[in-house]
Amino acid sequence: MSQRSIRKLLVANRGEIAIRVCRACNELGIRTVAIYSKEDIGSYHRYKADESYLVGEGKKPIEAYLDIESIIEIAKAHDVDAIHPGYGFLSENADFARRCDEEGIVFVGPKPEHLVTFGDKSAARAAAERAGIPVIPGSGGPVKSIDDVKSFAAAHGFPIIIKAVLGGGGRGMRIVRSNKSLEEAFVRAKSEAKQTFGKEDVYVEKYLDDPRHIEVQVIADQSGETVHLFERDCSVQRRHQKVVEVAPSQGLGSKLRHDICEAAVRLMKSVNYLNAGTVEFLVVPSGKFYFIEVNPRVQVEHTVTELITGIDIVQSQILIAEGFGLHDDPILIPDQKDIQTNGYAIQCRVTTEDPSNNFMPDTGKIVAYRSGGGFGVRLDAGNAFTGSVITPYYDSLLVKLSTSGRTFKSAAAKMLRNLKEFRIRGLKTNIPFLINVVQHPDFLSGNVSTTFIDTTPELFV
């Protein structure tokens, strides 16, 4: 196994995840480098790194963080040995991982081939099928024509879902409930896929009614040793985007939990996966589960797994990238049998969106900012402080609030208290909506599927 110590790491990201990675490095004694677009000149992640450099000069705000050559140039000019891509941006870009390899820079993540396989949802499905993991009945690859979609619908019945092969972030999906809207949906899905993801390929799946979204955190080292850190329940979604995440899932029986976690490890072992990744499933009310996709990177909601297992996922990623095995010293991850969960954790994504105006992103200056705190409370903030200017250029995640407790009820009570303690003035946030979610009886009893928010009008403010 090759080992290479990391002395200086560049974070190819911004906001809360860039800060999260810098903190992990700081504790490991690794020097950090931030990059920032010109719009992010006052962004907080710059100040949490030891050095920071302007990236992608002349590029648009998002493109600056996607400018592979500019990032590589900064890394080389400043003796960087490793790059952590965070989530979003270049985190799943195989070309970027390859460019890092070519320059002798450690890419903190899986191998480029994993990014290729799991970046393409239909290729990921095929990998799951090969590993003997149930997949949702689907077209098995990109659909060529409307006739293919029609014959799929005739064979499997409505509703069906048309998905962009390169889709992500809850975008690029269209549910079709009858023949009447099929043709239009197909044409639109393809043009949206082309516009958003650069490739018009779409595939079709049966749309499952009222599933729960259960995902398993997996970590694997260079020798192929692979463990799971149990599951997260991310069923609380708005328009297929996660809003509140929980670990472990309430009411997933021990047999189902075991089977899902085992399936996740089997899939990752079958592709010789490396580093941290998440295998996502949908679980239907009968208890059957189906693979949906793999996210080959750290996820927004990794915090809840850290809170219940005590394992630092970002530091684990870095140590594995240095070449340490799960059993080496310094180990962060014990044997599978020694990975235990303790209590429950909940994360709310506090965003600068106006819940009374269809969750329109709000921008401007935060004129006052105060958060809660106390026992069992964790805050992962981006530009969340008094005087911070929230621009329209990037996603609207302001701060992740996570709480943990011995019981789900106590974690939820802490969440409610902390949501209420927030004082954020100057712009709108989704906090009033989150307050409604975390005190809803269905949320508290664990009785939520992915349609919970969209079918519960009383949550809206």
Catalytic annotation, residues: 297
Q: For ligand ADP, which residue of 240, 257, 266, 378 counts as binding (CB under 6 A)?
A: 240
Residue 327 CB neighbour total at 10 angstroms: 12
Q: How far is Cα 347 from Cα 247, in angstroms, rounded to an integer?
A: 9
Closer residue to ligand ADP (CB): 196 or 391:
196
Instruction: Decide: is 216 part of the binding site for ligand ADP (CB under 6 A).
Output: no
Position 67 contacts ligand ADP (CB under 6 A): no
Region of 3-11, 29-37, 190-198, 202-210 interacting with ligand ADP (CB under 6 A): 202-210
Please answer whether residues 227 and 219 qualify as being in contact, where contact means their C-beta atoms are separated by less than 8 angstroms.
Answer: yes
Dist. CA 444–CA 442, nearest whole Å: 5
CB of 152 to ligand ADP, least distance (A): 12
Q: Which residue has the tokens 């303790």?
A: 342
List, edge to edge, every strand of the sheet that includes 226-238.
Answer: 289-295, 275-283, 212-220, 226-238, 241-247, 344-351, 397-405, 377-381
The CB-of-169 to ligand ADP minimum distance in angstroms stands at: 5
Question: By CB under 6 A, which span of 51-59, 86-94, 164-172, 222-230 interacts with ligand ADP?
Answer: 164-172
300 contacts ligand ADP (rule: CB under 6 A): no
Cβ neighbours of 129 (radius 10 Å): 15
Q: Is 84 in the site for ligand ADP (CB under 6 A)?
A: no
What are the φ and ψ backbone dihedral angles of 417, each rounded to 5 degrees?
A: -60, -45
Strand 389-390 to strand 364-365: parallel, antiparallel, or no bridges (unpaired)?
antiparallel
Q: Are 275 and 320 in contact, with CB atoms under 8 Å apart? A: yes
149 touches ligand ADP by CB under 6 A: no
Task: Confirm or reject binding of residue 137 to ligand ADP (CB under 6 A).
Answer: no
Indicate whether 201 belongs to the interface with ligand ADP (CB under 6 A): no
Residue 104 exposed, middle or buried by CB count within 10 Å (0-12, 13-18, 19+): exposed
Out of 211, 248, 355, 382, the residue judged to bind ligand ADP by CB under 6 A: 211
Which residue among 247, 292, 397, 427 contacts ligand ADP (CB under 6 A)?
A: 292
Asked if 157 is part of the footprint of ligand ADP (rule: CB under 6 A), the reply reads: no
Q: Name the residue nearer to ligand ADP (CB basis): 98 or 171.
A: 171
* Residue whose tokens read 């700081």: 26
Residue nearest to ligand ADP (CB): 450
Question: Is 78 labelled a binding residue?
Answer: no
Stretch near ligand ADP under the rule CB under 6 A, chosen from 204-212, 304-312, 399-407, 435-443 = 204-212
Q: Give the tokens for residue 118.
A: 């799991």
Is 240 known as a binding-site position?
yes
Nearer to ligand ADP, 74 or 164 (CB): 164
How is residue 135 annotated by DSSP?
B
Q: d(Cα 431, Cα 423) in Å, to the nearest integer?
A: 10
Q: Which stretch binds ligand ADP (CB under 6 A): 94-102, 187-195, 207-215, 217-225?
A: 207-215
The answer to whether residue 264 forms part of the interface with ligand ADP (CB under 6 A) is no
161 counts as binding ligand ADP under rule CB under 6 A: yes
Among residues 9, 208, 265, 333, which is the contact residue for ligand ADP, using CB under 6 A? 208
How far separated are the first and last CA of the chain, in Å rounded? Answer: 55
> What number of other Cβ atoms are within 10 A of residue 286's Cβ?
6
- Binding residues, as ranges, are 121, 205, 240
